């Protein structure tokens, strides 16, 4: 098998693993991987703001507001005015939201992060360079993407 075929097979495996994880997390928790990431960020401190989440995920605040609207409708988070600054709205996990975080399968990106962190610094740098090169080869440099392993457009992940 030549290198082109090997490369294409590796890419397909990555896409397929992402698709399978997305399906698994939706079936197990009822949320998309992007919505799950929102829950994780909120769960780190017990609360967050839409602006803070949008900065972390590198997507618009409007996209995060749509995610949060869905999570509120599903009873996983709630909005509450900040006691320090009445202009600020905090987003908090409900008991159901905490349960989703504890019962969810090990997120694909958590597995990646654990294994990536175990690599030597030079290996990490080479891997990042290689992945960025692949993205450029696929003309994907300008695609809006957050650090969430999921397929499809992040802005359309709200309704899943």
pLDDT for the residue numbered 17: 87
pLDDT for the residue numbered 160: 44
| Count: domains in the chain | 1
d(CA 100, CA 94): 10
Q: Are 146 and 154 within 8 A, CB to CB?
A: yes
Q: What is the CATH number of the domain that holds 14?
A: 1.10.10.10
Residue 139: which domain range?
Answer: 3-156
Of 5-19, 30-44, 120-134, 139-153, least confident by mean pLDDT is 139-153
Could you tell me the pTM of the whole model? 0.72
116 pLDDT band, cuts 50/70/90, is: very high
Q: Is the pLDDT of residue 96 over 50?
A: yes
C-beta pairs of 47-53 under 8 Å, 24+ apart in sequence: 47/80, 47/90, 47/91, 47/92, 47/93, 48/90, 48/91, 49/88, 49/89, 49/90, 49/91, 50/89, 50/91, 53/91
């Amino acid at each position: 098998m030549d290198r082109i075929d090997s490369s294409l097979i590796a890419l397909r495996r990555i896409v397929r693993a992402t698709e399978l994880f997305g399906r698994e997390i939706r079936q197990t928790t009822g949320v998309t991987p992007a919505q799950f990431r929102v829950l994780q960020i909120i769960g780190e401190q017990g609360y967050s703001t839409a602006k803070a989440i949008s900065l972390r995920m590198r997507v618009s605040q409007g996209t995060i507001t749509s995610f949060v609207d869905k999570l509120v409708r599903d009873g996983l988070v709630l909005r509450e005015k900040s006691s320090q600054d009445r202009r600020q709205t905090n987003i908090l996990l409900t008991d159901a939201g905490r349960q989703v975080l504890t019962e969810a399968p090990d997120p694909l990106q958590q597995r990646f992060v654990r294994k990536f962190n175990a690599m030597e610094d030079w290996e990490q740098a080479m891997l990042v360079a290689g992945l960025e090169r692949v993205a450029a080869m696929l003309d994907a440099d300008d695609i809006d993407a957050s650090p969430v392993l999921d397929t499809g457009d992040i802005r359309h992940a709200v309704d899943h």
